Structure 1
Amino acid sequence: MSKIVTLENAVLQVKISKNGAELHSIYHKQHQHEYLWQGDKEVWGRHAPVLFPIVGQVEDGFYEVDDVKYKLPQHGFARDMEHKLITQDELRCIFELRFDHDTMTKFPYKFVFRTIYEIKNSKLSITYQVDNIDTEDIYFSVGAHPGFNTDFIKNTSFEDYTIEFSEQEKFQRLLLDNGLRSGAIQEDALNGAQTLDLKFDTFKDDAIIFDHFKSESLDIVCRHDDSRKLRVAFKDWPLLGIWTPVGKRADFVCIEPWYGVADLRDENHNFKEKYANQKLPKEETFSATFSVEIIDKDE
């Protein structure tokens, strides 16, 4: 049985793998173009991993809940587990991951985690839902990590593109030190600009992480030809990561809405106090949606 699920309408063909409920393809039929990074183990072997129940790293590879230690790899375990396909039609599908004995050894909470994909015209919406089916509050982070090809205008590559934010603002950047937050914060990281030109050197110190921003979306646009753009909308998401692998000079950029972020270096390991972690009371549901849309200027 195939592990790939396909959604399709007149404009888009979208493919998702049951492994990690990971998006594998956003193909635009009219453009005859693949907008999602297709993976290369020599560069970055993933496409769009789902991050749960942590985003980033926990210091020293472990965290504590009620004085008990638990180990988790970077970005958690959901991206490396098979998710159950609950429902599917041509335009929408739902994947589900439930707690089990194995997850409880790494993450001591009872949960149901769903990933919902839905297409409409040239837009793909992605929703993450967490049900607390435990007897107490649960704590977690969740995030997205899709990589988008920077070649959708003919004869262009990564450094021909820019990111245009929906609002002009003083972005606050959280700086990293070997995968953990250093504690340093760069105020007004874009110097009042509304755009971020994609330059490989910009990512020499790892991902750009923005906190406390007003923008609800951004567009990836070619600086020489703005006839086509890719829009990522992330209303109400508190953090945003932007990343391309250091030193690889790859033609893709990851746009990553997050509820959560890597640990602060030399921070205590108390998971309930982890910055930007979500607290969910029993019998309640957390839900967050972002979208990806391919836009033609003349349409």
Structure 2
Amino acid sequence: MITLKNAALRVTVNELGAELTSVRDIESNTEYLWQADPLFWGRHAPVLFPIVGRLHNDQYQFNDHTYHMTQHGFARDQDFLVTSQSQTSVTLTLKDNDETRAQYPFSFQLDVMYSLLERQVSVEYRVVNPGHEPLLFSIGGHPGFNIPMGATTGTFKDYTISATPAQLYPSLTLAGPFSDVENPTTINLERPLQLNHNLFEHDAKILELGQQETTLTLTSNLNERGVAMTLQNADYVGIWSPFPQKAPFVCIEPWWGIADAVNSDGQLEHKFGIHQLVPQSMFNADFSLEFF
């Protein structure tokens, strides 16, 4: 386990999955990150790669071969190598190996970088294509945040998520685990969205961002604790908490990619929201978390 620390925050990162596992306020000892209680959801903030969401039948076709891959891909269960580290930053790296190539026949390098500056944790995903063919991939984050935060006895309904810019956002719904791309809708974030568990009866709420810089702020009127996620260039952001469990956390998930469309033909190159990276090039996906 890796520990990063400055005057305000102590952060831990697991080499398994390059997963953020704790963000704790040093002065108050407030833990902001969900602590992976398996009764509800046994992860903290997994990295989603090389897919986001679910594939039809957990499989896809590429170059006349069928490959099996479960929801959100394999990176979250792979051991990363620490390739750079200081007191306030770390870079963890995953490269293709025999296990990944059995599911995903591409050469790749994935760097996950965390850095602290005052009360902010900056996160960068860097995908490198070292091969000679285009690299087809999606990537995303899945951090969960405790509700309530800090010394309070509040409930899920005491929390809101507000957006900057405050506007009507195009939205995709899920039909089962798949993207219903033929029936887009909207989510009104002109005013803060009050959380309640029934919001997630049909899975995540998904905003289409179109790489517009957007900040989502999770907070309540119970105290001054909260977190603001700023997405620099994300395609989508999902908001999720498990249903029908009344879980004491919510995830705000930056995505560069999304679950298979309802009518997917299973061909990876046709996958809805897939990114294509030309040989010998690099893709950057960035977001930051401000804890207060």
Normalized against structure 1, the TM-score is what? 0.93
Say if 2:100 is the partner of 1:103.
yes
Q: What SS is found at the alignment partner of 1:247? A: coil
Aligned residues: CA RMSD? 1.4
CA distance in 1, matches of 2:185, 2:244: 26
Q: Do the aligned residues in 1 keep the contact of 2:158 with 2:222 (CA within 8 Å)?
A: no
Q: Among 162, 171, 174, which residue is 2:172 paired with?
A: 174
Q: C-alpha displacement at 1:143, in angstroms?
A: 0.1
Say if 2:36 is the partner of 1:58.
no
Q: 1:167 to 1:194 in 2, by over 3 A?
A: farther
Q: Among 78, 84, 89, which residue is 2:86 paired with?
A: 89
Q: What SS is found at the alignment partner of 2:245? A: coil
What do residues 5-62 of structure 1 show as CA deviations (whole Å, max 9, x unaligned)? 0000111000000110111000011232000000111110000000000000111111
5+ residue gaps, structure 1: none
CA distance in 2, matches of 1:45, 1:205: 21
Q: Do the aligned residues in 2 keep the contact of 1:210 with 1:239 (CA within 8 Å)?
A: yes
Q: What SS is found at the alignment partner of 2:12? A: strand
CA distance in 1, matches of 2:161, 2:28: 21
CA distance in 2, matches of 1:247, 1:138: 38
Q: Do the aligned residues in 2 keep the contact of 1:16 with 1:23 (CA within 8 Å)?
A: yes
Q: 1:185 to 1:30 in 2, by over 3 A?
A: farther
Single out whichever of 141-150 and 63-72 deviates more from structure 2: 63-72
Q: Which residue of 2 aligns with 1:134?
A: 131
Q: C-alpha displacement at 1:216, in angstroms?
A: 1.2
Q: Do the aligned residues in 1 keep the contact of 2:209 with 2:237 (CA within 8 Å)?
A: no
Q: Which residue of 1 aligns with 2:20?
A: 23
Amino acid at match of 1:74: Q
Q: What SS is found at the alignment partner of 1:202? A: helix
Say if 2:154 is the partner of 1:156.
yes
5+ residue gaps, structure 2: none
Q: Among 46, 55, 62, which residue is 2:43 paired with?
A: 46
Work out the percentage of aligned pairs sharing the same amino acid.
33
Q: Among 247, 253, 268, which residue is 2:265 paired with?
A: 268
Q: What SS is found at the alignment partner of 1:232? A: strand
